[in-house]
Structure 1
């Protein structure tokens, strides 16, 4: 693995301006892992609509590669901060049964698609995918191999909890075909770990990283969270010291959203121990300063990558995209989602599975796909998705290209949006002329706010305030 760390320096003036604007930040902006966003999905979109989308996928480009997402919901420990769709258990009878139903769902989808399709990108998320024991993991891979062809040159990733893997398990993951791993870390400080009920000694993470390197994994990612109880800027820098020493290819630094009325486990977190907004902002800014000074490229929002990582290369080449896992290099394929609550994107439609095991099993027992809701995109949705994606991923929008692709007059179609954009331009977030819109260095730190300008559903719900989207 290359450890080249040279990169263009991040604009420190933008970080200073960002600090100065903190008092004006207001509201939470969507992450735009999809457009329209998942809150627009509806239950009127059911199995028949999904089957029609699968038929369209089969007929439009029968040889085009696919992307797959598998949701493994099981965890043997509850992390108090977590808002994922998860099931806390130590009973592998439950996960073994789940594997059987995953195979059933794959068979139903594959039968509708017809020929055995190749897969350029696959991702196992959760929950904790490494909750599955070795036999269960082999069974899932066997089912995938029966119905799909996972291309060896593709990107095949799995989220792992370092507490659930040892050298033998890491070897198995590589043998099964995974070439990327994402490690949940959150924070290395013992007091923070105790407060969030996730005690994870540094040695466990270090050993997983070293094993991945020995085994030839193409990329190692780490997930951190800022805004957790007992975190301070100084303490988080200590976590970054250890992370940087391990030199992961990618780092994601997510903002903790304390929503105990939505996620019951968060009620166990002491609200008084959460960092104040000013401290949380300082953690974010100092993290960007630190990681970029260490040679990481600031991809956008909460993602960082080494300059020779595929993610950084894709951004330099203008190929970066977003999907439900965040920034990605292979987001242009139809994505099939398998498992409870999994989301797919097929033939201009979004589909989401049932959120509970009972609903999921009942549908498959009846020979039905376990779809609970979805959304069929319009031409306007496709246009806006393209605009938002270009601004969020590559920081620039060529208006002539958009006009040619969608047969529109950009200024006429987006007259109101451009007026709002000009208001953001006066604050230094964007620059634009008749040919191009460009996101500034400051705008990259607030890119969700820029994207919101082009979100028709937000505009129709209420006027978009000309203030900033909270990123802390």
Structure 2
């Protein structure tokens, strides 16, 4: 399972969605408004008041610019902006809970960014207290925060634990100082090691580190050193991303010199090294870019077929509605997706007018719902049982997807999947190309020839 043959890469390493949703966010439309989202909230208030929610809060601020970054962010050293932002977040929460009902149970919370740790400890505590005023955080839930190692010390981690966070995600990317300089993110490995050790001492349930291969000035030799350090660090989870250089879409990437980027052969070598190093060190390949230690809840969920997927990636929580708060945040409510305004000005302006800051979204059709079930089954369980789809949606799977089953044959012949009378199964090697398998069932993508806006699937 640790070898991806070059000929397979040449055939199937194509641009494609990550499928944190289906349809994907690029299919959202401006015609979907805050009023549409409010109706979805009211419907859930009546139809499913007792089911737990997921909650995502976007904190857009960063003190400095990382050149590889494709996130929605605001670069500033003016920390007073955070206080104003917290006021507007509460306004949004009030508007949402007025429609949904206050006190709804939350079993999963994620603070992302930007850099959530741009906020001071007092501001983070204020944010958590505000969320608890309007929602009920379930005992034993997953409460995670993304951490920029440059902004915290063990004392700050202790404060996060006291606030109720039980999961941390550290942005590492690469330990090589030359690579760090090339992407404008210098952070000594010693500091990360000290923070992870402090996290363990403080009792955090899971620690994740993010890595990126394909960055400027990276080589197979330098990345091998980073992998050795990561194995020594031994975080509970590792997210290993391929850098996608799309400077026409993401302005910060224009500061990266294309001549300094590793070539395709070196990227493949780095991926192969990572698979050997991490699986050899005992990590479970969960799927896509994610690895976890065997006793981590993500690996356990993979073994037990309980893996799910939302806008934050793989999750152990049951497939549930997601309330999204803050600038550019994307949520899911019933059969709808919604996204908030992408700029602080528009976000605040809508809230000043007493409006939900939703600027676009999508109401899913019946076809969307069926295809979403198929794609998420492939992405999370690596298989689709035809009967389960037929019973849930009252369709004839083979009739509905006759064209897709035919289009799947090249992947079957390449050994990436198998199809029998009642199911589709992704093979061990096929897990590396699971996005390619899922793409076959993406009706929008099949009709769209412009796929260059997506990153490559490996």
Give the TM-score normalised by structure 2. Answer: 0.97
Describe the superposition over 1:165-193 as per-residue Cα deviations: whole angstroms up to 9, x where unpaired.
Answer: 01221011001100000000000001000
Q: Which residue of 1 aligns with 2:217?
A: 230
1:305 has 2:302 as partner: no
Q: Which residue of 1 aligns with 2:457?
A: 471
Q: Give CA-to-partner distance per residue, 1:105-148, whole Å, 9 cap, x none.
A: 11111111124101000000000000001121111111101100
Alignment of 1:281-296 (within 5 A): 281-296=268-283
Check conservation: 1:187, 1:239, Cα contact below 8 A: yes
Deviation at 1:471, TM superposition (A): 2.7
Output the CA distance in 1 between the equivalents of 2:378 and 2:7. 23
Q: What does residue range 423-462 of structure 1 map to in structure 2 within 5 Å?
A: 423-461=410-448
Give the Cα–Cα distance (whole angstroms) in 2 for the partners of residues 313 and 94 of structure 1.
Answer: 41
* 3-state SS of 1:78 partner: coil
Report how far residue 26 of structure 1 moved. Answer: 5.1
SS in 2 for 1:100: helix
Root-mean-square deviation (CA, aligned residues, Å) is: 1.4
Among 265, 287, 295, the alignment partner of 2:252 is: 265
Give the distance between the partners of 1:265 and 1:442, measured in 2 at CA: 34
Count the aligned residue pairs: 455
1:61 aligns to what? Answer: 48
1:401 Cα deviation from its structure 2 partner = 1.4
Matched with 2:170 is: 183
Unaligned runs of 5+ in 1: 1-10
Kept in 2: contact 1:25–1:470 (CA 8 A): no
Aligned partners of 2:224 and 2:450: how far apart in 1? 39
Deviations 1:24-66 (A, max 9, x none): 2453110000000000001100011000010111111111110
**What is the deviation of 1:462?**
5.0
Aligned: 1:102 with 2:85 = no
Q: CA deviation at 1:460?
A: 2.9
Q: Is the 8 A contact 2:244 2:456 kept in 1?
A: no
Instruction: Provide structure 2 residue ranges, at least 5 long, that are not aligned to the other structure.
Output: none
Moved over 6 A (4+): none
3-state SS, counterpart of residue 223 of structure 1: strand
Q: Does 1:411 align with 2:398?
A: yes
1:304 match: secondary structure:
strand
Query: In the superposition, relative to structure 1, how do residues 26 and 471 fare at CA in structure 2: closer, same or farther (>3 Å)?
Result: closer
Q: Say if 1:216 and 1:199 are closer, same or farther in 2 by CA, change over 3 A.
A: same
Would you say the 8 A contact 1:322–1:331 is kept in 2? no
Aligned match of 2:131: 144
Mapped partners of 1:282, 1:31: distance in 2: 22
State the distance in 2 between where 1:151 and 1:144 align.
Answer: 12
Shift of residue 246, structure 1, vs aligned partner: 1.4
Question: How far apart are 1:459 and its partner, in Å?
Answer: 2.2
Q: Distance in 1 between matches of 2:106 and 2:21?
A: 20
Find the partner of 1:422 among 399, 409, 431: 409
1:386 aligns with 2:373: yes
- What is the DSSP-based 3-state SS (H/G/I as helix, E as strand, rest coil) of the residue aligned with 1:446? helix
| 1:48 partnered with 2:26 | no
Distance 2:156 2:381 in 1: 37
Task: Name the CA shift for 1:366/1:186 in 2 (closer, same or farther; >3 Å).
Answer: same
Report if aligned partners of 1:75, 1:88 keep a CA contact under 8 Å in 2: yes
Cα separation, 1, equivalents of 2:18 and 2:368: 16
- The answer to whether the 8 Å contact 1:156/1:179 transfers is yes
